[in-house]
A and B are shown apart, each in its own frame.
Chain A
Amino acid sequence: MSKSTNTNKEKKPEKTGPKTGAQAVVASLEKAGVEVIFGVQGGAIMPVYDALYDSKLRHITMGHEQGAAHAADAYGIVSGQPGVCIATSGPGATNLITGLADANMDSVPVLALTGQVPTNFVGNDAFQECDTIGVSNPVTKANFFATETESVGDVVSLAFLLAKEGRQGPTLVDLPKDVTIGEISNWEYKPPELPDHVEIPSVADEEIIRSAAATLIDAKKPVILAGGGVIKGDACNELYKFAIEFEIPVVTTMPGIGAFPEDHELSLKPAGMHGTGYANMALTHCDVMLAVGTRFDDRLTGGVDTFAPTAEIIHIDIDPAEISKNIHADYELVGDAATVLMQLYKEMGSKPEASEWLDQIKAWKQEYSIEYGERESDGKPRPQYIIEELCRATDSDTIVTTGVGQHQMWAMLYWTYKKPRTWVSSHGLGTMGYGLPAAIGARFAADDDQKVICIDGDGSFLMTLQELSVAVREELDITIVVLNNAGIGMVRQWQDAFYDHRRMASEYPWVPDFSKIADAFGAKGFLLDDVENVESTIKEAIGYKGPSVIDARIDPAENVFPMVPSGGANGLFALTEKHLEEL
């Protein structure tokens, strides 16, 4: 009778339609095209799980609900369709919150379903009751408390639709047990429609388009800033066409990684706190910036006072609230990224005269190259080198997920991203522990021949390690590379730079052997501590069919550069510790 989560169930005879609220919930997911959901069982959500028993939907039991939310998030990034996670009431729901906050910050389509105590218990502090709507209000795009069995299926359909329409984001439906247990008299699935008052902007104001185009044509030092919205809005082809045709260099934000191929000569890679020196120089000195699908996060802008201080800014975004929120836009273009880019494209009579600027940028690329020199430090392989080797050993459609910290920044700098939806990371919330569950979610959304690699830190890995059991149980082909510096390196780097080397709670006196942990879980573990073995270990781990973990011992003294101290001027990035002292 046990339903294992990874076997295909034999076909049941055709049913006449959902008979309970829970069955309507499941039917709505099926109709929306959902194939896999990530979750953890529990009392208040049991009716929905019971309905899943009869469904073709694949349910992946995660080790922790946070893992379920991150897996759904990564699924959403890679597939472009809402990832679905499910949890019980109370602790199940609160455990989802970090993952939902993460998805909210990074505008990722996610649908969360949470069990709730029966309606007549709500408000009485019942067992495992939590005000999930209240708790999730600030971290969801929209949330719904289901009140009627008859309409619960429609509410789920609407929440799914809202997660992906317009600016994407997480939505949640709270499902009281009586609502899901209740019997339906007559409900049929209807494709959801947006409420009348919800308008999703598409085409931008033609007059502003004309004046923005004129400004861009006149630019002497133009730059494009491509944010995550370019990828989420499926506007990468339009952006490429635009940049190539008008010869405009492209800087990305972190979520925008993959929006433009980094091996193209117009690519400057990401700007910001640990962005490349040349990207930060370009933003600081440009005279016109075409910013697409970005919210000008402070990790990108550094100090607002010194951000692109000479630039007129043309800002395209589907969410008007992001325009002129952090950085004032001289041209506000509200609309769909792909559509508006093409509107602008058509208005551009000619390309800007910017040959001097393009030469300058070429020179900056040389001057501020991210070449790191030695492959080895203190007898150990350097993280930059490991990442370059990983990139070399895999195809350009390989998906990279990360935790948060130094390893994330090296993964950003030293991998060459060529395609959208191959960079899967936690940006706005900066959630340690994101990498492994994200690799699991990404695995389900990726094509079978696409590789999935998680580049993790030892601290981040320890936060959601239990999800390795899922990877083993579900026989997922993922490779986890732990850049093990025996501590929470990013914090240690800040302490050295800004707290007079007072390393409070950042160095681990002891770290487990992650290769042995992998073996104990039933994954394949590798220990990597010799620079000569980097290539061969990577080859073996990637070749292994199933989850593998490389415990890569690196020099704990490694720091991430370039670096803009928080609130500092992007153009004054430090390339060395000595530069930091100068600032």
Chain B
Amino acid sequence: MAIKSNGLRGPAPSERPHPNERRNRQGIRIEPGSSGELQNRLATFSALVKHEPGVLSKVSGLFSRRQFNIESLTVGPTENENNARITLVVNENDTGIIQVKRQLAKLLPVIAVEELSRDAIERELCLIKIKNHFAQGDSLEELKELVDKNGIEILDIGDGMVTIEVRGGQRDIDDTIEMFDQFGIEEIARTGTVALERGSKKTT
């Protein structure tokens, strides 16, 4: 079957005027020559949601479906037994961060959602299990010193392993993990960030 002309006429693409201006991947107009690449940043959101079955799957489904980069997600009860609070840390550019908020707000069980201020109180808890090189003598002292200096608690010693608890901001925990890396970390469990606004400012 031979393809024939369909009858349309008009100048070829190369014969038409065509603008040189461009938009970046987020659809923002950019200076000619610039890449217009937006930087990602970490943003913490607090979402007050109805405490009912299926909410978490709706939230996590939204994140995977829209390919939002999620660093952590926690969920737990609040002062009101009908509600739960979800705290989310995402790594996105500004367009993505606005999208996260607006898409979350559309989910019916989401009562309110806000991006928290930079000075909001953020805390995470982490358990780290390390090989017990400190079974006796000086090295246990060494561990205790390290632990005391950094506000870390020893939860369990024995069976060749030591389990410690670290609390702090996400960055503090990252630093602690790095510090203990030299001793041989066996297992880590982190809660993810929970956060509230400082002072009398309401979180959501």
Contact = CB atoms under 8 A, between A and B. Distances in A.
Interface centre among B2, B13, B29, B103 (most CB of A within 10 A): B13
A138 B58 CA distance: 8
A328 B28 contact: yes
Contacts of B27: 296, 304, 307, 324, 326-328
B54 interface: yes
Nearest to A169: B106
Interface stretch (B16-24, B68-76, B118-126): B16-24
A575 B9 contact: yes
A576 B95 contact: no
A556 interface: yes
Contact of B2 (A304, A319, A557): A557
A321 B26 contact: no
Contact of B3 (A327, A374, A577): A577
B23 A309 contact: yes
B84 to A, nearest CB: 14
B6 interface: yes
Contact of B10 (A325, A367, A560): A367
Given A197-B112, A321-B102, A576 B8 contact: yes
Interface in A369-399: 369-374, 377-378
A327 B57 contact: no
Contacts of A325: 99
Interface in A303-327: 304-307, 309-310, 319-321, 324-327
A74 interface: no
A34 B60 CA distance: 34
Interface in B147-168: none
Interface centre among B11, B25, B29, B53 (most CB of A within 10 A): B29
A368 interface: yes
A101 interface: no
A523 to B, nearest CB: 30
Nearest to B103: A321
Contacts of A145: 53-54
B5 interface: yes
B111 interface: yes
Contact of B8 (A281, A306, A370): A370
B106 A321 contact: yes
Interface string B100-129: 001101101001100000000000000000
B9 A142 contact: no
B102 A328 contact: no
Given A321-B103, A328-B95, A561 B6 contact: yes
Majority SS at the chain A contact face: loop
B9 to A, nearest CB: 7
Interface in A530-583: 556-562, 569, 571-579, 582-583
A392 B14 CA distance: 36
Contacts of B7: 371-374
Nearest to A196: B111
A202 B23 CA distance: 30
A575 B7 CA distance: 9
Contacts of A321: 99, 102-103, 105-106
Nearest to A572: B13
A216 B194 CA distance: 45
Given A328-B29, A557-B3, A557-B4, A319 B106 contact: yes
Given A309-B21, A325-B99, A575 B8 contact: yes
A562 B3 contact: no
A462 interface: no
A254 B106 CA distance: 25
Contact of A372 (B1, B6, B14, B25): B6
B23 A284 contact: no
B21 to A, nearest CB: 4
B90 to A, nearest CB: 15
Interface string A267-306: 0000000000100010011000000000010000000111
B65 interface: yes
Contact of B23 (A277, A307, A370, A582): A307
A46 interface: no
Given A137-B61, A309-B21, A371-B7, A582 B12 contact: yes
A354 interface: no
A142 B108 contact: yes
A205 interface: no
Interface string A133-150: 110011000100100000
B140 interface: no
A309 B61 contact: no
Contacts of B188: none
A368 B16 CA distance: 11
B42 interface: no
A571 B16 CA distance: 8
Given A145-B54, A319-B106, A576-B6, A305 B24 contact: yes
A496 B16 contact: no
Given A198-B108, A572-B16, A582-B13, A320 B102 contact: yes
Contact of A569 (B17, B18, B26, B54): B18
Contact of B95 (A305, A324, A370, A558): A324
B13 A583 contact: yes
A248 interface: no
A582 B57 CA distance: 48
A145 B26 CA distance: 37
Interface centre among A285, A373, A575 (most CB of B within 10 A): A575
B23 A305 contact: yes
Given A195-B108, A582-B13, A372 B18 contact: no
B146 interface: no
A324 B98 contact: yes
A-B interface, 5 closest residue pairs, ranked by CB to CB distance from nearest: A373-B7, A327-B27, A321-B102, A309-B21, A572-B13
Given A197-B111, A369-B10, 20 more contacts: A137-B57, A137-B61, A281-B16, A285-B19, A306-B23, A307-B27, A319-B106, A321-B106, A324-B27, A328-B27, A371-B7, A372-B7, A374-B7, A557-B2, A559-B6, A562-B8, A572-B16, A574-B13, A575-B10, A579-B13
